[in-house]
Structure 1
């Protein structure tokens, strides 16, 4: 429940509880694409992580320390700044990570309004720290205004960007193929910023951008990623104060369900991916 790194509308600190509540729609039955259910996995809700009120750096350290206790986390945010400490904790065990990043924004600014750690700068730090291997990082849904030097820096590090317009033109199957090509078979983390979705499907977020993915497109892409060496996932930037009929919270919950169902679909994954290395 953390959103002190936001640059526009706050409220993502209420996202975890909203996503949990919306997830009640997903507890009955198996995933029709995989005939698997997350309830077959050894899962537990470990509750909310502690944060340091009003202190971004201290909060990130607390999140990293708490995340280090778990072999495989699906984390509900919260603003996107929480992903940096989650990646740090995971990289300590697994080494530099590949990254599948759904978002409207590149989130590789060196700072946000002079603040080095915020919800738009975490991947700048993750790349510079060697936590993420930029050559195995792919961004899907990018479409926001961005400074040219920030965009060029991102590409220059080796990041693959699939802009929202390109995503609409080439379709989910081609995007999934590109993801597999980029991330390979090494450890990979999936981060899903709900503003990757068009505001028609996800109005309840702090920094909405028109022209985004439809929920079905995002689901279809994730469903086409079986067999990847996933080591963790998060869903971030759900801000229920701006939501309509819980559709954003349900979208966030469903993306987590898609990910867990993908793990559950493989007996090998369900036995080994959640086990500490």
Structure 2
């Protein structure tokens, strides 16, 4: 087991570092994207990737993570490619570099867990994943739909509008979960399970809708940490009360074993607004749960 004060501080769960896809036998690569130039609320999400990695010091000691009956490293090989470089102040360079980075790892047959950064990073990631797997089912956790047509070229609130226009996602196989801000309910392209419905019906009902909607289609999970209620994730740029609990979201991700999951991002962690590291710990735990879900799916 890696030292709590050694590699775990610089990589997710202390997994080995790797920069060349063909030089590692890892099945999943963790990457960080320290970018927040597309946010409309409080900036600071560029600090999210490293804060999430550091929070895994609270998780690594478990060995076998509850309630799983195996240790992750016994079933899944994971590496950490560090943070994606770009020219600060130039969003175009982020888009180009992130797509290139994702293309390299996906073409090598790897799956990706990507740590944000603001939610705009999902658009380049979806482009790369759709290039490799075809149009995707989107499983999107958020307080906001991020389907707004207005906005600038680089805007974390328009990503799933552009993803649809670019043919990256298949709306009839996609869901948005935990939504609790306004949207056009009569002309909305995605199925929405709003926060009231989710909190009233629970994880089993949410999973039933996810499986019915997604089926066997290749699926990408995009998890905005503000899908959680601010009580569970105060450190985010656009907090909205009335969201999901960490327990509920973990149960939903855990319940996706056996689905055709191709990648996940966890975004909008803004550690400056959370003095107790609650948000980065939640993000780290949710990302780790995704890895366990992939590992468990190998035996289904």
Task: Using structure 1 for the length normalisation, give the TM-score.
Answer: 0.91
SS in 2 for 1:31: coil
Distance, in Å, in 2 between the alignment partners of 1:108 and 1:195 is 16
Q: Choose 49-58 or 94-103, whichever is displaced more.
A: 49-58
Q: How does 1:83-162 map to 2 (within 5 A)?
A: 83-112=122-151, 115-144=152-181, 146-148=182-184, 151-153=185-187, 155=188, 157=189, 159-162=190-193
Corresponding position of 2:215 = 184
State the shift of 1:51 in Å.
Answer: 1.9
- Kept in 1, the 8 Å contact 2:138–2:175? The answer is yes
Distance, in Å, in 2 between the alignment partners of 1:39 and 1:237 is 27
- Kept in 2, the 8 Å contact 1:34–1:262? The answer is no
- Kept in 2, the 8 Å contact 1:201–1:214? The answer is yes
Runs of 4+ in 1 over 4 A off after TM superposition: none
Tell me, yes or no, if structure 1 residue 232 matches structure 2 residue 263: yes
Q: Which runs of 5+ in 1 are unaligned?
A: 270-277
Among 72, 76, 83, the alignment partner of 1:38 is: 72
- Kept in 2, the 8 Å contact 1:110–1:116? The answer is no
Q: Choose 57-66 or 179-188, whichever is displaced more.
A: 57-66
Tell me, yes or no, if structure 1 residue 50 matches structure 2 residue 81: no
Corresponding position of 2:56 = 23
Q: How does 1:63-102 map to 2 (within 5 A)?
A: 63-70=98-105, 71-102=110-141
State the shift of 1:268 in Å.
Answer: 4.4
Answer 1 or 2: higher relative contact order, Cα 8 Å, separation at least 6.
1
Among 160, 170, 176, the alignment partner of 2:201 is: 170
Tell me how many residue pairs correspond in the alignment: 261
Q: Which runs of 5+ in 2 are unaligned?
A: 1-33
State the shift of 1:147 in Å.
Answer: 4.8
Task: Using structure 2 for the length normalisation, give the TM-score.
Answer: 0.84
- Kept in 1, the 8 Å contact 2:44–2:272? The answer is yes
State the shift of 1:69 in Å.
Answer: 0.8
